[in-house]
Structure formats: structure tokens, C-alpha cells
Structure 1
Amino acid sequence: MDDIEAETNGEAIRMQELSEGKSPDLYFQDGRRCIDFILAWKMDDQHLQLHHVQRREVFEKNLEEEGLELEFEDNVESQLRFIKVHAPWEVLTRYAEILKLKMPMRELRGMDYEIMHPHAVVKEVEGWLSSCLRVFQLDEYLFPPQEKTFTATYSRDKEYLFNMKEDIFTSSMRSRIVDFILCRKHFRVETKACEMSFGVQKLLMDRTYDAAYPLHDGDLVSEGSIRHLLRTEWGSLRKLHKCQPLECIKDYYGVKISLYFAWLGFYTYMLIPASIVGLICFLYGCFSLYSNEPSEDICNQHLNITMCPICDHLCDFWHLEETCLHARITYLFDNPATLFFAIFMSFWSAMFLEFWKRYSAEISHQWDLTGFDIREEHPRPEYLARLSSMQEQRLNYVTKMLEPHVSFWKMKVPGLFISCISILLLISLALVAVMAVILYRMSMVAALSLHGDSYVTSYAMLITTTTAASINLCCILVFNQLYNRLATYLTELELPRTQSEFDDSLTLKIYLLQFVNYYASIFYIAFFKGSFIGYPGSYKRLFGFRQEECGPGGCLMELCIQLGIIMVGKQAMNTVLEMFWPIFFKWLQLIQLGVKEVASHLPSTRWGKDYKLVDFGTQGLFNEYCEMVLQFGFVTIFVAAFPLAPLFALINNIFEMRLDARKLLTYYRRPVAQRVIDIGIWYTILESVGKLAVLTNAFIIAFTSNFIPRIVYRMNVSPDDSLKGFLNHSLAYFNVSDFPPEYAPQVSGHSVCRYPDYREPYWREDKYNPTSMFWHVLAARLAFVVVFQNLVFGLINVIRWIIPDTPGKLKDKIRREAYLTNEIIMEQELLRSKTSRWTGAFGKWAGQGNDKDPLPTHRTQKPASPGGAGDFSSEIQYPRLHVMDKEDQAASHYYLFVCP
């Protein structure tokens, strides 16, 4: 198809789109050329400075020399200037070759996909399942299934291999090609100016332009656009039960954004079995609550056990039955099903990662990402801006361009040193906040104990834990805002050259800071609280203060409350902020740009409406990924203490998908489509979290819960293999007279009190020393950790070995497609060779050709443009071959048309 034919077909397609309700604001004034990108700036004093005007003129001239077509639009009321950018067919095909885009190939007869027909029984079962799941499937009328076609990396000198049509370049592909050009065109005013003065991002940074963005294809309320279709079928809460239209999302937003929603949807679906098993384990604890003998011994007052004071000097003795509610709630999360659920979730995390790799491989094949490789990146505009004053430059071997030379010892090392020290200080700040909450908890317990009311005393532990977790959540949310800003600043000090280096460094910093921020208090309760406290006569103290103790049933209930409040509270707060932050930034942006007073005039055009929206930015998906990865940590690392975590995560994610979609469609400008092969460094983080989860769950079961002491008691102490008498056996005796005078309680009406530990009673010679039971329990705990982690890791490795990263059928399909693609290429090359020989012979017979050069090429000169990727001073135009339809291919000869 030549350029004239492509433009003619393109005009027909555009006229059809206009007749179907497409907005005329998506085209130039001639109604033919579509708008692929918008550049905007305002006529104020800053933008009218001489160097800004000259930069815009040079930049726009270079764009036109590259082949892009520009049209200028003025908005008198707001003094805004819009530049519409259109990429013609020749530019699209040229950069499709540069970007190594895959295009559909011409298919020959007999080259169809091989269809596997299942067995009749399997077919019947599949039909029954599809009818049952039809309510969750997309409407095929709105989202027709896309047929897989043979594709290959596009090359203009072999264009005869491809089925090139005007609509083959989607709007997302067109905007990506234009953005690639915009990011690499120079704006040097003087010949001696910095060679790295290029890219629209740098022009945006110095306010030469105010905005650069592709257009949405329509309004949210007007039918006939993909945006409206996605808003009603994808971004609506009424469609919660429907699958996501990933193909449509990919065509509109590109691979990077659609891959995030594919990962989020897959993660949400995988949470369904984890939620069901967790709910079953929780219900088991509810149904067997009153059959737990230790908690019943606490609630029944026939034991009449007096416990030692929980604070020094001021607190009085208390009775064990006051913690009846605490003991029963603890059993809900510390029962025999806890071990099973911890093992199940360890395997679940491994299965999730393995199945995601398989699903990701299928997506990569379906979206033509197989074999995709990241090209060499140019320096970041921020990197160049920080080094603009440097005189020393060196030649980049790959790009063959002069770049500022950054001294490792003089510039890199100081930035890395400042960054590391700052990270350590921020981590220390989070730990200080945890210590402050610990002091609050200790003071609160003592204050409630002094109240004297038995009702208040019985709820003291619950009140203290709940309020402390709420305060900790508030500190976490405040620190997160500080961490995000400081992490970005520290990453800039490290001078990362490319955007990928910047993203990876920033991701590790923020995740490390948020990991400490969210999990520090939880790790303290799980592994440190109540572990090294000593005994009543000789408590171990920190800064003169007595350390916190766990209740008689352990710290698992406090861990569960802390985990539940932080996890659920974080998700609720993030959901609210995600919906209101874009509205706030949109309002703030209008004020900063000075167009709020004329906002009523801007919606008259599509580019004016999109100008008021918030820029999505390069870090738009970072917060979304970080939130979900932190949630994955809550679901896996501490799931032994909170079996309902997967259920809360599932409920949150069901709404999260739709709210993220609605936010993206409603409040943000349309981002430039980007190609990625996977979710990047986030998979490595998920894999590390999964391995950490096995260790933490093993230690929680062994040291935080009472699972191991109960097993040891049943095996070595209990005469009937039951827990009868376990409570009394787990409490040691202490003589009140052994209290140090400075810590003795003021009111003492008791001579003996009890405390939870395995120590010799006061009437023995080796009083208060650990008993043999203590060492048996400790050995059993350590043995359990070793056996648990080795068994789980071993089985996980077996699972990874059994489940390949790429399904076998998919491998065969890829090989089959590669074979058929080669067959198509060879068949088309054979046809070309035959027709070339026939044409050469005909030309020689007619006296218009020769044997050596039957198909001459034509070299066309182009105006020289500034250097950089994509600049060509000359180009070879190869002949385009057009083969007749398949009915005419059966003839004895072919007609060849050579278009100059």
C-alpha cells in the first residue's frame, strides 16, 4: 500500500469515525489528520523570555524536519497556546522499524493455527463451566475476542511481508512514536551549546512548555469512545464481578499499565482460595472456642490464681480470671489450625509466584512481547540539568554522543554516602516512634491497672493494644509522606544516569523505608515483646524501665490486633487518599497555571479538557505497586497471627481494581504507552518477601504462640494426652518477700503470686532457675523452626521444579508460530524472486531493464536535521511489492507494481 492509498483509506476511516460520533477535536482543522500529541504553553512573562522563544522555534522546526506535522491553536481568553502534532504514515513506518515494533504478516493459504479438539467429555465439562462462569465474562459484543495473527519485527525493506493498513497503528502506538521523537529532538539555539540539550522533558522542566500529552479519545459521558466504554465496563463498581478487558486496556494505555492491572487481577484471584482457607481456620477456632481447656481454666474461677503485679511499686496483684476475654480471643488465632494455615500460605506464596510467571509468559506471547529487549536509554533530563555546568565530557560508546563525565570519587561517592546515612537516620526515626508507642503502652497498662475496677482491668490489654496500634498507624501515614519526598531527593543525589537506574534505586529506598515503617512494631510484638523480661524478683530493664510482658496466653492476640488495625487502616486510608488526592492536585494545577478563572472556556475542546487533568508522570504506577507489595507482606509474613488477612486483602483489591481504573480514566491525562516485558524489580521483592514469610511464620508458631509448649506438655507431662492442667503447669511460683524494696507493691495482702514462665518454685534451693521443661520447650521450638523451614523450602523447590515457567503447550505454540512465520517469509521471498525474474526478463525484452539491476532503488535526500536518535540525512526507499489476491495467485504469473 503506497502513501496515497494509505492516506485515502485513512481519510475514509476517519470519516466513518466522525459519522459514528467521534469527536472532531481529535483531528486537525482539515478533518483528516488525527492529533497524536499536544504541546501547550501560556503567554506569560516567563514563557516570553527570549531563550524560551528561541528554544521553542528550534525544537518545532526540528520536529517538522523529522516529518511531523504541526498545527497551532490559540486560546485568547486563557492566553494558552496549543500545538497539535500529527505523525504521517512515512514517520510511523520509519519509527516502527527503529522501535522494532511487531506488525501482522500477510498469511498464506494453509498457514492457519492448529486447533486442538478436546475429548467429548472434556468438551462437555468445559461447556458446563463456561455457562456457569458466563456471568463473570465480558460481553463479547462490546469486547470481541481478538484473533492471534502472525507477527514479525517490522522492516521497511521487507514491507511486502506485512499486512499494512492505516488502522494498524493504534492511537497508543502513534503517541508512543511521537513521544519517542519528542524525547530525542534537539533545541540547541547556538552551535556551541550543550550537545545534550534535547528532549521535551527538559523543556518541561525549565517551563519552556507547560504540558505535553496525548489526547483521550472522548468524554466519559459521550458514547462512541474507548474511554467511555472502559469507564462504564471497567471503571464502574457495578461491574465488580466482571473480568477486566485487558486487551482493550492494552490498546488504549499500553503494555505497562495493562500489565499492572493484569498482575493485580491475577493476585486478587489467587487470594480467593487463601481467603476461603483462612476463613475456615478462623471458624474452626470459633466453633471449638469453648472446648479449649486452658482458656476455660482461666474463665472458670475455681483455680483462684493470683498473678504478680504488671508494673513496679504502684500496681497491685490481680486475678487470672480477669483475662478471660483476652484468653478466648487469643484462641481464635492460636489453635491447631494455625500451623496448617501457616504451611498452606507458605505454599500459596510459592504457587502464586510460579503461576504468575506462567501467566506472564502467556501475556507476553499474546501481546507480542516474546523476545522484547530494552533499548539503550538516553540520560535523564534531570541528570543533564544537574550536570549542565560541567565542562568535562566523554563519548558514550553506545550512543556515540558526548555526555557529561561524572567523577565516581568526587560526585558519586559523596551522594551515596549521604544517601546511606540519611536512610539509616530515617530508619532510626521509625524505631524511635516504635519505642515511643511502647512507652505509651506501658504507661497505659499501668494507668488502667491503678483504676481498681475489675471490668476496666479485664479490658486493659485490649484497650492498650487497640489505642497503641491506632497511634502507630497515624505515625506511619505521616512518615510515609516524609519518606517519599526524601527518598526522591536522595536518589537525585546519587546521580542515576537513566530512568531505569533511577526507578530501581528509588523503589528499593522507599520499599525499605516503608517496610521498616509498617512492620517494625509488628516485628517487636511478634519476636521481642515478653521474650527477655526476667522474673518478678529480677526483671531486666531498659533505661531503668521494666520491659513489657505478654499475657498468660502469649502475645499472639496483641500481634493480631496490631496487624489488623495497621493493615485494614492503611488500606482504608489509601483508598480515601487515592480518590481525593487527584482532585486536589487538579484544583492546585489550575491555580498554578492561572487558568482557573477561565476554566469554563477550556472544556470546549478536547485538548482543553485534557489540559486541566493531572499529569500521570513516570512514577504513576509506583505507589500502586508499593501498596500491593506491602499488602502481600501482611498477607504472607504474619499470616499465622491473622488468618483473616487474605480475606480483607481480597475485599480491598476487588474495589482497588475498579477505583484505580476510575481514577486513571477520570482524573489523569492519558499517559504515553510504554512497552515492558514484566513487572520488573517488584517480582524480586515479592520473591524475597515469600522467602521471609516462611521464616517469620515458623518463628511466630514456635516462639510467639503456645503451640510448642502445648505439644511438649501433651507428650511429656499429660497422663491422658490432653491439655488438662496445662495452665497451672505453665505458671511459676514467686515469693512476694523476694521483691526488691524499691519495686515491691505498696499494698501487699498476698504472700505468693504466679507468673508465666518455666522456673523453679521459691521453695527449691535453685529457686527461679529455668526448669528442665524450659529447656525441653526451647529445644522443641528450635527443632520446629529448622524442620518447618527446611520442609517448606524443600517442597517449594520441588513445586518450582515441577511447574515450568513457561507452559509446555505455549512453548510448542511459540515454536509452531516461529516455524510458520519462517514459512511465510520464505514463501513471500520466493514469490518476490519469481516476479522479479519475470519483470527483469520482460524489461530486458522491452529494452527497459538489465540483468544486474532489475529492481532499481531510489535514494531521496532529506534536509539535514540535528543529530540524535532517529535523525536521518538520507534514506533508501525500497520498492513496495503488491501481490494480487489469493484467487489470482493460482495463475501462472504474477503482476508486480513497483512504486517509487
Structure 2
Amino acid sequence: MGENGDFQHCHRTKRNLKFKDGIRTVDFVLTRNLDHAEKQVRRCYFEKNVTEEGLQIEPDDFEEFFANNPFPDHHAATLDKRDESTVQTLRVESCDSKKARFTKIHVPQETLLRYCEIMRIKMKVNLSGLEKDQQSADGHLNNVNSRRVSLTGTLRKVLPKTMIDFLNLNESEGNPILYEYSRGKDYLFGGNVAMSVAPTVRTAVAHYILERTNCGDKKDDPFDTGLTKLLEEGVYLDAFPLHDGNLEPAEECKRTWLLQEWASMVHWIKLQPLTEVKDYFGTHVGMYFAWQGFYTNMLIWASSAGLLCFLFGLVTFRSNQVSQDICRDNSTIMCPQCDAICDYWKLGDTCLSSRLAYLFDNKLTIWFALFMSVWASVYLKMWKRYVSHLQHKWGVRDYDAQVEPPRPQYLARLLERNSKNTNSASMNGVDEQTVKADCAKTVLNTYTGKKEPAPRFWSTKLPSLLYSYSVILLFIGLAVAAVFGFVIYRMSLLTARHIYGDPADVANKRLMFSAVAAIIDLALSIALDVAYNAVAVRMTNIEYHRTQNDYNESLNLKVFLFQFVNYYSSIFYIAFLKGKFPGYPAKYNRILGFRQEECQPGGCLMELSVQLAIIMIGKQTVSLIRDFSIPYFVKQYREWRKRNSKEEDDSVDSNEYTEDDSLISWNERCRYDDYVKMVIQYGFITIFVVAFPLAPLFALLNNVFETRLDAMRYLKFYKRPVPKRVRDIGMWYDIMDVIAKMAVVSSAFIIAFSSTFIPRLVYMSVVNRNKTDEGFLNHTLAYFNVEHFQAGAAPLVTKFHNISMCRYQEYRNPPFGDRPYKRPLIYWHIFAFRLAFIVIYQNVVSTVQGLVNWIIPDTPSRLQEQIKQEQYYINQRIMSGERTKAKRTVRSLDSVAESDPVGNGVLTH
């Protein structure tokens, strides 16, 4: 099947997706039961209003439904809610069963076309009148750029047919011209337009009407509108569109095809069928997978550069002067790593860790950091260009979000606040009308021209925002405090006893402890994720967000901030704080009485690499397992429960409605959680990539599995979502842009202060006459007289005898000579070089990023020319169509004038 394959004409499935007449399609399904009479009355009012809006409904329990419905034709007079006899009758008749019932909804042709125009949905323009030289072989507009060379076109020429088929590089159909549907311009769209409307559009129209229909008999009540409100009240149990088929290989439907060709790991290397994904799930899901696929493809370049950096270190590590000096050294005695219980140790014990550190901190590291900083900028710019193609192809380039109705929870909070204030006013003798006027403020909606209830900013909205973000900041502080507490634990003597008790194995134990600490930190972060997400939801709920989009953006920002602090704080500590201010043996800098942790010779970059690798890879692995296993077991449990119910009650049918109803309900958090996960990963591979050049490679491998498992999850375990139109990935682009800017600063500081690049450069330039790094290790180690130990810091028991001097990693004067233990001049030279490097690095990267943004336009020139060509063609068609309509009008007037020469009934000018 090609990229734009159409399943509407080859659809063969065991599912019955029609009304009982076998003609009308089921475009939406509402789930209900008959356990509450009051809810049944609410349903009757709502469905009456829905039919008046133009939708058609059909319950699965047809006879029982109309027997209990006070509006059997949905056109009866308004039911008086005070008619207790009717409510009692409904209560008696409805309490006999709690079995789920289903109400099917169909969008008739006239309603469909009317709302397609209201919703400004773009449809395919009919090109039947196009000249042959303007028309391509597949019946689409012949693009003026079609002769230009493209990468996929070149690959199609050089690769064998089997490889082209395997990589899904077959030439797809040209993009049709799309234009906003208008019933007044029906000549643009050909014959029966309604028959060519995609199922996702029919579903979107049905949902649009349902969300804007009043729930009761008061047609203008803004507090009682929309399907979401009825779902909140439990009037309906669920609402969803049906999947178009079962997951059986014999069925020919888009769901099965996507499962086999898109969600299967066998096709992991193939390009994603994004158009089919968009046509089945909607633009919002298609856009996520388009971004994920583009991001994954861009990771190939970053992974290649990181792998090259790692392989360079692997090949040349034996020639590294620092590692050679450490491994050959058998006489340098290092000062104890903790107070009292730690012994002296030999520098040569860190041979293995120094060689491992060189794999990540070598001569290519700075060039890799520069590459990744530029890569982040190019990636964001190229995504803008790529998404511009999708926007044009999917008809959302000029789309602006429709005016959203107020959230039911938002209106309920306004009602609740008004009710509380009214009760308080009556108790205190205050005029009730005065309180209502103060609380029930109304504002004019500039889009709809109607007045809507709104909270007052100073007395209602601002306090809720202050409270919410105060709690958010408190929990962010708790996350930082958790990291601080873990650092204190690592500093404690109990930990030090286990690590440094045996001086013969200091280096290996340090490396092992770094790994164990990272695993504990990962487990703690994953556990805190659940608590943080719950707090974020709770705090967002108390805020007054009018629309669902505003609510989602506020919640997403909180969740991202929580995860940012949760997963990055320990890495920030190692990268920027650990070992930077330890002091020296005669005067250690302490926190709560504990000595600060020190870096091993060569810096903390090795420990940073271990921390980053374990947290990043561990988080990705846990997320993959959790995201797939939880929906799987939920589905298995629901199927088991359904089988047991069927054994106990033979009346429980198994059909397409019950099958889809047993799936997990779709909500926006499904998609947003995936976005958060990917953006956090993006932070790992940009902010800290200097410490772990293999991070892009592991991200690439994870995303290959992530894409296919997400696809399988959506197809097998979740209800079909309501399709929504979006222009791009929204706020996530802005967040990634901020992360990319942070990455430049982070890389500069890590190279300057956490690696040995600057000290080695200064040593080779200023100290060593031969301009080599021979002797650099000895240059970084200071001398300390063991008689000058701070009280309680000297080892109580030692295996080393006749020790007068020990070494420690610092730039300080020796105890013999002028200004003992003070900073030498070379330290300030290195510090100045570090600051200069940060400034130069940021300016170089910023200049390159500016050039990238200036040279590469957001919209490709080919696309701009194509858009102009299509606009010209559409204008010509409109002019031709309007001219034809005008001629018909003139002929009609002429015929009327001929039949009525006196002019009776005809306007004269």
C-alpha cells in the first residue's frame, strides 16, 4: 500500500460499523447504563438537543430505550423536571440492570458539510479541469519543482527494488491541493463531497457538536453545556469513536494494516506511514509520531559523532600521557579520602578508572561538544522546515485553534465558589445579590460575542496561582533536598568506612559506589515521579483554567519542571559542585561537619559519565517496560472480567462496542507523557552529552523500540482517540529551544571546570617548554605535610610507615617555601583561561547558531513556490467558477423576463 492508500473502498471487516438500517455509519459511541433515573432524564434532554443540532442517534437497546424515553421522537415538549411520576417510572424501569448500553451517533450529510464549513476543514480540490501539461501522472498538480533532484529520488535510482520496498522508499502519490470547504464554492470540490470525507473528520464533527450542545432544557446556560460535563457527572460512562476493525490478520482494515506494517518491530528501519497514522488517529497523534521519527533520524548524526569520539578514545587510550603516568606510578602516596578511618593510598590504584575516563575525556571531546551544540540548533531549524511540509500536506498550515468551550470543571468551581460565598453572605447578613455580583463576574468573549462567567483576578485567580506555584516550588525544593540528603549520606563516615576501609582497592570501590549510588538515585527518582505527577495534577486543578488547552499547558509545564529537577539535580551536582570546593588536609571545607566529596585524579568526569549513563539508560528501560506492561495487564484483566461476566450472565453480548469499551480510555495525558519523556531524553543528550558521548546512541536505540511499542500500545490497548487538529508540537518546541541554549552553557562549564582540557592546555602552553603534556599529572598534585593535618583528619591506623608527605589534587603551594598552602599564580592563570574559554565557546556557538538560523529559512523555497502555484490555480478556479455562476444567474433572470414580459414579480433596475 502506498503512502496515501485509501481503505474506505477496500475495507473488509467482521465489525458492524453501521446503524441497523445498514446504511448510516457509526461516527461516535456513547456508553451508558440504566441505574439512575435522574441521569436518564439528563440523557434524554441532551440527546433531544443533539438531534436538534442535526445529529442522528440510535441506541443498541432500541425498544427498551424508547419505552423509557420521555422524548421518543426527540421533538416533544420540554419535560418538567418536577414531574415526580415520570422520574419514579424511570427509576423503577431502570434499576433492573447495570449492564453497559451504547448509543450510536451518525453525522448526516447536510450536517457534516455545514460543520465542515464552520470548522474550516480543508478538503481535496477537484483537478478535473486542469490542462494535461499541468497535471501529473497520478492526477495531481504538476509541481514546478518536480524536476529537482531529491535524496529519496536518487536512492530509488541506485538501490535495488527489494531494498526500495523494504525501506518504504517507493514513490508516493503527489500531494493533493487542499482548500477550506465552503458550500458556496462547491465547484472546487467536485461531485459528492460528503462521500469523500475521511472517518476522522466525521468523528471530529460529531465531537465538536457534542461538546457545544446544552445538556438541559435551558439552551443558553453556560454552566450546563457539553459532553464532557455529562461524563464528569456520570450521565455517560464513556465516549469514543470505534476502531475500524479487529486485530485479526484476515481482516482488511487500517487498524490491522498499521499493526502489521507500522507497529511491528520487523519494520523498525522503515519510514513511518505518517499519512495513514494521521488519517486513523488524527493530526495530533500523527504530529507526535512525525516529530519522534524526525528526532530519531537526526540522532543518527549525533550518535555517529559520539561513537567516533568514544572509538577515538578506545583506540588511543594507551597513548594517553596521564593514564600512562598513573599506571606506571608506584611511589606517589595520596592523602586519605575521609577523616580518621581512611588510610593513605597509592596513585597507581586509579589506573583502570583513569583509562576509562579517557574514553570520554579525550582530544575529540571539545569538538564533539561543539558539534552537539550546533546539532541542537540545526535539529530545531530542520524540524521547522520538516513540519512546514506536514502542515501543508495535512491542511493545517493556516489552522488556528477553534474557540474552545469552557471546561466543566472550571464552571463547576465557579458555581461552587459562588455558592460558598452566597451561603456565607446569608449567615453574615450581607445582601446575596451583592455577593453574586462580586463573584459571578462575566466577561465578553471576543470570538463568540457572548458573555461568559469568569473569576475575578485579584480575589480569586491570583491567590489560586500563588498557592499552586508555592506548593510546586516547595516540592521542587524537596527534590533538591533529597539530593542534598543523599550527598550527605555519601559523605558520612559509615559510607566512607565501607568504601575506603581497604586502601588496596580504593579505585574499584569508588567506581562501584558511583554505580550503586546512581542506581539508588534512579530508583528514588522513579518513585518520586508518581508523587510529583499527582501533586502537579492537584495543583493544576485548583487553578482557574478556562479551556482544556490552557489546563494541559499548565499541567505539562509543572510535570516537566518536576522531572527536570528530579532527574537532573544529581547530575548537576556532580558536574558543577562535586570536588570544586573541598579545601585541603589542613583546612577542609565541611557541610554539617562532613568533608565534601573529592574527585579522583583526572577530575569527576568519569563519575559524571557513570551517573548519566545509569540514570538515562535506566530511566528509558523502566519507561519502556512500564508503558507497555501496564496497559497489557490492564487489558488482560478486563478481558478476564468480561469472560467471567459472560459466564455468569448469558445476556452479556460480545460485539464491537463491548470490545472497544473494554480498552483503556484515551486521554491527553497519554500523548503528553510521551512528549515529556522524549524532551527529558533530549536534555540528557544535549545538556550533559560532553560527559557521555554515547548518550545519543542509546537514545537512538531506545527510540527505535519506543516508536514501535507506542504504536502497538495505541492500536491494541487503547480506545481510538477523538481526532484533533494541531499545527505543530506546541510548547515542547519552546522548551527544547531553552534546553538547547542551556546545553551551550552547560557544555562550556563542564569542559572548563570538570574536565582536564583547560589545565592541560595551560600546562602545555605556559609551563612545559616542549609543549607536551608530559609531567602534567605531577603538576596537578600538591604536597601536604602529614604533621599539619586538621584535628581528627589524620588516619588512626595506617599500613604506610615513615610518611612525611602525601599528595592531593589541588593547585596549592607546598608546605616548604613562601605562602604554604596558598593558591599559586598558575591557579589564577588556569581560572582566567577557564572563564575565557566559557566566553569564547558561547560566542562561537552563538555565532554559528545565528548563521544557521539566518541561512536556513523556516519554510523551504520549494514549498513556498508550490504554495504560490496552488494559490494561483485556486484563484483561477474561483474566478472561473464565479463567472459560471454569474452567467447562470443572468440566464435564469433572462428566462424569467421572457416568461413575464410585463415584469410582474421581477425586480427592475
TM-score by length of 2: 0.87
Q: Does 1:30 align with 2:59?
A: no
Q: Using the alignment, how far apart are the partners of 1:848 and 1:702 within structure 2?
A: 96
Give 2:157's aligned residue: 128
Give the whole-Å Cα distance in 1 for the aligned partners of 2:650 and 2:288: 35
Deviation track 1:169-188 (CA, whole Å, cap 9, x = no partner) reads 11110000000011111112
**Residue 776 of structure 1 pairs with residue 829 of structure 2:** yes
Query: Which of 859, 879, 883 pairs up with 1:826?
Result: 879
Do residues 396 (structure 1) and 426 (structure 2) align? no
Shift of 1:684: 0.1
SS of match in other structure, 1:196: coil
Given residue 134 of structure 1, which amino acid in structure 2 is its aligned partner? I
CA shift in 2, pair 1:808/1:739, >3 Å: same
Change in Cα spacing, 1:849 to 1:777, as seen in structure 2 (3 Å) is farther
- Aligned AA for 2:473? L
Matches within 5 A, 1:775-814: 775-814=828-867
Deviation at 1:434?
0.8
- The answer for the alignment partner of 1:694 in structure 2 is 744
Instruction: Tell me whether 526-535 or 433-442 shows the greater mean CA deviation.
Output: 433-442
The residue type equivalent to 1:71 in the other structure is E
1:71 aligns with 58
1:174 counterpart (195, 198, 202) = 202
Specify the code of the residue in structure 2 equivalent to 1:670: R
Residue type of the alignment partner of 2:837:
F
Q: Distance in 2 between matches of 1:501 and 1:699?
A: 36
Secondary structure, in 3 states, of the residue corresponding to 1:388? Answer: helix
Task: Output the amino acid matched with 2:772.
Answer: S
1:603–1:609: 8 Å Cα contact kept in structure 2?
A: no
User: In the TM superposition, what whole-angstrom CA distance separates every residue of 1:626-680 from its partner, at most 9, and x where no partner exists?
Assistant: 0000000001100000000000000000111100000000000000110011100
Distance (Å, rounded) in 1 between the aligned partners of 2:238 and 2:806: 73
5 Å matches for 1:419-498?
Answer: 419-443=468-492, 446-452=496-502, 454-455=504-505, 457-498=506-547
Change in CA separation of 1:805 and 1:429 when aligned onto 2, cut-off 3 Å = same
Gap change, CA 1:119 and 1:509, over 3 Å in 2: closer
Shift of 1:393: 4.5
Deviates more, 1:471-480 or 1:718-727: 718-727
Match of 2:711 in 1: 661
Distance in 2 of aligned mates of 1:535 and 1:393:
65
SS at match of 1:621: helix
1:592 Cα offset (Å):
10
Structure 1 range deviating more: 248-257 or 593-602: 593-602
1:270 to 276, 295, 298: 298
Question: Structure 1 495/208 Cα, relative in aligned 2: closer, same or farther at 3 Å?
Answer: same
Q: 1:762 to 1:42 in 2, by over 3 A?
A: same
Task: Flag the 1:120–1:547 CA change in 2: closer, same or farther, 3 A.
Answer: closer
Q: Describe the superposition over 1:187-228 as per-residue Cα deviations: whole angstroms up to 9, x where unpaired.
A: 12468x943201111101111110100000001114211000
Q: Distance in 2 between matches of 1:570 and 1:83?
A: 42
Q: CA deviation at 1:809?
A: 1.4
Is residue 581 from structure 1 mapped to residue 609 from structure 2 by the alignment? no
Structure 2 residue 104 is matched with structure 1 residue 84: yes
Cα distance in 1, alignment partners of residues 441 and 813 from structure 2: 75
| Among 320, 323, 333, the residue aligned to 2:347 | 320
1:138 to 154, 168, 172: 168
2:380 matches 1:380:
no
Residue 385 to residue 260, structure 1, CA distance change in 2 (3 Å):
same
Q: How far is 1:332 from its partner? A: 0.7
Change over 3 Å in CA distance of 1:654–1:198 after alignment to 2: same
Amino acid at match of 2:661: Y
Letter in 2 for 1:109: L
Describe how 1:288-327 pairs up with structure 2 within 5 A.
Answer: 288-302=316-330, 304-327=331-354
SS of residue paired to 1:40: strand
Aligned-residue offset at 1:580: 1.7
Tell whether 2:118 aligns with 1:98.
Answer: yes
Report the 3-state secondary structure (helix = DSSP H, G, I; strand = E; otherwise coil) of the residue aligned with 1:387: helix
Return the alpha-carbon distance in structure 1 between the equivalents of residues 42 and 832 of structure 2: 74
The corresponding residue for 2:729 is 679
- The reply on whether 1:612 has 2:662 as its aligned counterpart is yes
The alignment partner of 1:614 has SS state of coil
**What residue number does 2:263 align with?**
235
Instruction: After TM superposition, give the deviation of residue 117 of structure 1 in Å.
Output: 5.6
Given candidates 49, 57, 61, the residue that maps to 1:62 is 49
Per the alignment, residue 229 of structure 2 pairs with 202
> 1:760 and 1:145 mapped to 2: Cα distance?
72
In structure 1, what residue type is equivalent to 2:307? L
Report if aligned partners of 2:156, 2:169 keep a CA contact under 8 Å in 1.
Answer: no
**CA deviation map 1:151-171 (0-9, x unaligned):** 321112232332243432111
* Corresponding residue number in structure 1 for 2:211: 183
Do 2:13 and 2:246's aligned partners in 1 also have CA atoms closer than 8 Å?
no
In structure 2, how many angstroms separate the alpha carbons of the residues matched to 1:150 and 1:330? 56
Instruction: Tell whether the 8 Å contact from 2:336 to 2:342 is kept in structure 1 after alignment.
Output: yes
Aligned twin of 1:250: 278
* 8 Å Cα contact 1:326-1:461 kept in structure 2: no
Q: 1:760 to 1:92 in 2, by over 3 A?
A: same
Q: 1:629-640 alignment to 2 at 5 Å?
A: 629-640=679-690
Shift of 1:532: 0.9
In 2: Cα distance, 1:15 partner to 1:246 partner: 17
Aligned match of 1:746: 796
Deviations 1:398-426 (A, max 9, x none): 33444333122222122112112211211
Whether the aligned pair in 2 keeps the contact of 1:360 and 1:678 (CA below 8 Å) is yes
Structure 2's unaligned 5+ residue stretches are 1-5, 65-95, 136-140, 419-435
State the distance in 2 between where 1:593 and 1:42 align.
16
- Supply the AA of the counterpart residue of 1:697: S
Structure 2 counterpart of 1:175, one-letter code: T
For 1:86, the aligned partner's letter is H
Deviation string 1:294-345 (CA, Å, 9 cap, x unpaired) is: 111111135x100000001111111111111111111111111110100000
CA contact (8 A) 1:322 1:454 kept: yes
Change (3 A) 1:450 1:556: closer
Q: How many residues align?
A: 831
Aligned-residue offset at 1:126: 5.2
Is 1:346 equivalent to 2:399 in the alignment? Answer: no
Q: Check if 1:530 corresponds to 2:579.
A: yes
Q: Distance in 1 between matches of 2:27 and 2:183?
A: 22
C-alpha distance in 1, partners of 2:391/2:543? 33
Distance in structure 2 (CA, Å) of the matches to 1:729 and 1:336:
19
Change (3 A) 1:449 1:675: closer
- Contact map agreement 1:68 1:88 (CA 8 A) in 2: yes
Residue identity over aligned pairs, in percent, reads: 41
Aligned partner of 1:871 in structure 2 is none
Partner SS state of residue 558, structure 2: helix
- Greater CA deviation, 388-397 or 805-814? 388-397
Structure 1 residue 594: Cα displacement: 12
Q: Which residue of 2 aligns with 1:158?
A: 185
Give the superposition deviation at 1:719: 2.3
For structure 1, which segment, 437-446 or 427-436, has the greater mean C-alpha deviation from structure 2 after superposition?
A: 437-446
Q: Retained in 1: the 8 A contact 2:608–2:691?
A: yes
Q: Could you tell me which residue of structure 1 aligns to residue 463 of structure 2?
A: 414
Structure 2 residue 662 is the aligned partner of structure 1 residue 642: no
Contact 1:734/1:753 (<8 A) preserved: yes
Shift of 1:589: 6.8
Q: Quote the Cα distance in structure 1 between the aligned partners of 2:620 and 2:187.
A: 54
> Is residue 264 of structure 2 the alignment partner of residue 216 of structure 1?
no
What amino acid does structure 1 have at the position aligned with 2:579? G
| Distance (whole Å) between structure 2 residues aligned to residue 496 and residue 123 of structure 1 | 46
Q: Secondary structure at the match of 2:31?
A: strand
Q: How big is the shift at 1:84?
A: 0.5
Structure 2 equivalent of residue 259 of structure 1: 287
> What's the secondary structure of 1:625's corresponding residue?
helix
C-alpha separation in 2, matches of 1:231 and 1:792? 43
Change (3 A) 1:850 1:297: farther
Distance 1:313 1:677, change over 3 A: same
Correspondence 1:148 to 2:189 = no
- Give the SS at the match of 2:104: strand
**Do 1:78 and 1:595's aligned partners in 2 also have CA atoms closer than 8 Å?**
no
